[in-house]
Chains A and B, each alone.
Chain A
């Protein structure tokens, strides 16, 4: 028997702290319009945190601030132990290889095929990867995101809205990031597709050990997959906790949000499901996903 061994070179350290995202005293304003006023938020390692709030409360602005697209007026933001607010553009590049972002509309590069879209971050950060391996990676990421294999060679304009989101997720996962940012991942999907997408995110999160920052309006998503929920109102995060913890609070917006007709329906669905003891599903589930 031949004995060969390959020792792999050391690479950027895995983040070891407990809070991959720490936001302190964040202030964002556009002209006179103040969006955030002293916002604090800690995201725990390995959790799915859902961010909710009425329209215009600055959920997306918060996400854009954390990933460095929006420069806040004041406050500090730390991602994976490094400051985003102090970083220069060229310095924070190695943080960027450790997060993946899914924008609302998918934000796929329209002149590239789905597979090429997934390959963009790989080319950018790891040019040493051979073409062969890169194609293989792109292929399994696309399949992992619940798209059929023949979608890899399609252009974004040939995809439906749900497929674009999956392709966007595949691109967000291209570098096996520790952090995943999702901006309304289930908005615009049919209920079956949305439920499948929720399952997909949960199972990916469990398998890959991701920390997920998830903006959503979808109460089902909150009940199904979020470990904790952060509520944005009055220019701050007014509460963070599990849904039962939030329900115990006496804030009018929170009460209305979770106890409105839609909130109750989502809760009932959750109760029914937990009564019938469903095992957390693994990736095998994604086979049942809708094929647009």
Chain B
């Protein structure tokens, strides 16, 4: 006989459960007369033991009996409550295969998404009234104006660092004066736009993904569709256009701040007067360097915005997916921007804009 006493509740049973599962003696009666209180966990334990040991439950009070009856009704088939899991040797190739397929499908989907955005742009051109100017301006503020502080600070400091490090090396040839060429050409041609693109990917690309992803989860996107508003026109297009407009502007702004940073260091530690530094920039930087920087702007903007919006619109299931999608939006955007920047560098040198 197995006799229980005291309260049989969730907070007390955890401590004795292991012992109860390993009863080896034969038991034909489970006595619950001295049980002060029983909740469903207690009822379940008594029921499970009675099944496990083939014992009868005796001296059961009315409420307890009712509980045990209710619990036993749920005990039809004890199938596992876990989702089935493949064995490791099958699971690994399975997962790898899924990733590879997802990569291919993902690439096609991005192209499809871009096509959708372009065709929505075409529709807007034919029906300019449907264009959401307010949304565009709002996004331009978020992407561009609100980024001025952080982009400016970053560019200024990078300008200072380039000038300082450059000067240390160039001093060895007594060519400190070329620090001006270094700062001017590097910021206008490469670093201004590249750093801005990375910063905007982190600031706005992630925001796009998280925003649209949450809107997908709360069915706002579906609601828009049913009202007859195209999410591509209303949500995606303003973000893409805003980023494509603001990124070159921010890039130029960033270059200017970089040059000012360089000039600041020049006047402080190289003995080049601030205004002389700026005047020399005009002479040593060819105008095509400015174009090189400007041309890359909208392209990088497109990549950052499409990556963010695409990943956001792919969210389907839960909050965790919003997180992973946001991460991949940023990673994808920065990676693509850097790869493309390398191609641009080679291309512009080849066409004689070295």
Contacts and interface: CB of A to CB of B under 8 A. Distances in A.
Contact of A144 (B16, B74, B79): B74
Contacts of A136: 44, 48
Contacts of A1: 1, 26, 28
Interface stretch (B7-15, B107-115, B140-148, B159-167): B7-15
B318 A283 contact: no
Contact of B21 (A132, A150, A152, A208): A132
8 contacts: A8-B6, A8-B13, A8-B16, A11-B7, A142-B81, A153-B81, A155-B318, A284-B73
- Centre residue among A1, A6, A143, A144 by max chain B CB count within 10 A: A6
Contacts of B16: 6, 8
Interface string B315-334: 01111100000000000000
A6 B21 CA distance: 13
- Centre residue among B28, B78, B80, B81 by max chain A CB count within 10 A: B81
Nearest to A204: B70
A130 B18 contact: yes
Contact of A8 (B5, B25, B48, B80): B5
- Centre residue among B2, B16, B74, B77 by max chain A CB count within 10 A: B74
B130 interface: no
B101 interface: no
A135 interface: yes
A9 B6 contact: yes
A156 B318 contact: yes
Given A133-B14, A209-B63, A8 B19 contact: no
A41 to B, nearest CB: 27
Interface in A109-143: 110-111, 113, 115, 122, 125-126, 128-130, 132-133, 135-143
A128 B1 CA distance: 26
Contact of B11 (A7, A12, A110, A140): A12
A269 interface: no
A5 to B, nearest CB: 4
Interface stretch (B33-41, B173-181, B228-236): B33-41
A250 interface: no
A282 B70 contact: yes
Contact of B25 (A2, A139, A208): A2
A140 B83 contact: no
Contacts of B9: 11, 176
Given A110-B318, A110-B319, 9 more contacts: A4-B1, A7-B6, A130-B18, A139-B74, A139-B78, A149-B79, A153-B81, A153-B82, A208-B67
Q: Which 6 A-B pairs have the closest CB atoms?
A: A110-B318, A129-B14, A143-B74, A176-B39, A8-B6, A2-B25
Nearest to A284: B73
A292 interface: no
A270 interface: no
B283 interface: no
A207 interface: yes
B70 A283 contact: yes
A152 B81 contact: yes
Interface string A1-44: 11111111111101000000000000000000000000000000
B156 to A, nearest CB: 41
Interface of B is mostly: mixed
Contacts of B66: 207, 282
Interface residues of B, number: 55
Contacts of B28: 1
A126 B11 contact: yes
Contacts of A10: 6-7, 12
A102 interface: no
A20 to B, nearest CB: 16
B21 A128 contact: no
Interface in A145-202: 149-150, 152-153, 155-157, 173, 175-176
A235 to B, nearest CB: 31
B303 to A, nearest CB: 30
Contacts of A176: 9-10, 39-41
Interface string B245-260: 0000000000000000
Contact of B14 (A3, A6, A130, A142): A130
A258 B81 CA distance: 44
- Centre residue among B11, B12, B317, B320 by max chain A CB count within 10 A: B11
B335 interface: no
Contacts of B18: 130
B278 interface: no
A238 to B, nearest CB: 35
Contacts of A139: 74, 78, 81
A194 B131 CA distance: 45
Contacts of A12: 11
B23 interface: yes
B132 interface: no
Contacts of B295: none
B353 interface: no
Contacts of A141: 40
B71 interface: yes
Contacts of B17: 129-130, 132-133
B37 A208 contact: no
Contacts of B15: 8-9, 128
Nearest to A11: B11
A5 B81 contact: no
A148 B351 CA distance: 69
B57 interface: no
A157 B316 contact: yes
Given A1-B28, A208-B40, A140 B74 contact: yes
A122 to B, nearest CB: 7
A2 B27 contact: yes
